[in-house]
Structure 1
């Protein structure tokens, strides 16, 4: 379990202040909130891309090499699709397995494009490559920050299937950030609501629906 206690971070006029937030292991979590609520800042703090001003993050035994994330605008190395895909394995000194590489290329619709210059891929293809790159080394904690936003419905269903298959075979912990309810409701077991840098509520999607209906104004419809 990842435990976030009294975490604070100020960025210009924005203040993140998380009193207490727990991420149960081997669950699919949803992180929701309006633009500017602090979702991306929180992810950067948990993944170590940003240092908190104060507070603690207890990773429950996870190492930095167990954690990964994807973004809405993923960075592509100025190299081939293949080299981008195996980059996390290189960092962790793991040998690429041909069958695994082929499986991921096929699942993401990139079979036959191994030698293509990765930055020349379409926006949707870069998202798919980023998703495969994040999972190829078998992480234990994955943050998906709006990665599905630019994908078509078929690609979204494909990735949701991949996530569910992983959870059946060897479950890991996921945190999915999205402004689109369809990406959260049918997939996540626990949802965390943020507003103005604060954590307001955690619960099942059904419990979140009750919370919102009781007075929280949001663009989300449950």
Structure 2
């Protein structure tokens, strides 16, 4: 379980202020909110890319090497597709198994492109490679920050199947950020809604839907 208590971070005029937030382990969580609500800032704080001004981020038994994340604009090493894919294994001193490499190349539609310069891939292909690279070392906590935004519908469905297959075999914890509600409601068991740096609501997709409808009705009743 990832437990966040009294977390604060100021960046210029923006203030993140999360009183309490829990990510239950081995569940798929959705993190929603408009641009500027603080979703990406929160992920950077949890993953250690930024330091909070104050507050507690309790990762429980997780270590930094158990956590990974993907972004909407993934960074590609100036190297081949193959070396980008195996990089997480290399830095963890794991030997890349040929069958595992082949499996992930096939899943992300990059079979035959192992020796291609990774930054030359299309935007969608870079997203797929980033996704595969994040999962190849079997992490325990994965943050997906708009990674599926530039994928075609078939690729999105394929990666949704990968996520559900992993959960059925050896479940891990996911936090999925998306502006496309279908990703969140199709996949997630818990949804956390942010606005202006604060957590507005946490609940099941159904409960979140009720909350959003009631909030919308109240806004229009004035």
Give the TM-score of the pair, scaled to structure 2.
0.97
The residue number in structure 1 matching 2:212 is 212
Find the aligned partners of 1:109 and 1:29 in 2 and give their Cα distance: 26
> Partners of 2:101 and 2:182 in 1: how far apart?
29
| Structure 2: distance between partners of 1:95 and 1:185 | 37
- Report the secondary structure of 1:85's partner residue: helix
Deviation at 1:216, TM superposition (A): 4.4
* Alignment map for 1:27-176 (pairs within 5 Å): 27-176=27-176
| Structure 1: tracts of 5 or more residues without a match | 218-222
SS of residue matched to 1:159:
helix
What residue is the counterpart of 2:220 in the other structure? Answer: none
Q: Tell me how far apart the structure 2 counterparts of residues 149 and 128 of structure 1 sit (CA, whole Å).
A: 11
Q: Deviations over 1:153-193 (max 9, x none)?
A: 00000000000000011000000000111111111000000
SS of the equivalent of 1:164 reads: helix
Show structure 2 runs of 5+ residues with no match: 218-222
CA offset digits 1:68-94 (Å, max 9, x no partner): 000000000000000000000111111
Q: Secondary structure at the match of 2:101?
A: helix
TM-fit CA distance, 1:215:
1.4
Secondary structure of 1:209's match?
Answer: helix
Answer 1 or 2: which has greater helix percent: 2
Alignment partners' CA distance in 2, 1:173 and 1:216: 31
Partner of 1:220: none
Cα shift at 1:213 = 1.1
In 2, Cα distance between equivalents of 1:76 and 1:112? 18
CA positional deviation for 1:212: 0.8
In structure 1, the partner of 2:6 is 6
Equivalent-residue separation in structure 2 for 1:144 and 1:202 (angstroms): 18
List structure 1 runs of 4+ shifted beyond 6 angstroms: none
- CA distance in 2: counterparts of 1:99 and 1:141, whole angstroms: 24
State TM-score, norm by structure 1.
0.97
* Alignment partners' CA distance in 1, 2:211 and 2:184: 16
CA displacement at 1:60 relative to structure 2: 1.1
For 1:202 and 1:91, locate their aligned partners in 2 and report how far apart those are by CA, in whole Å: 36
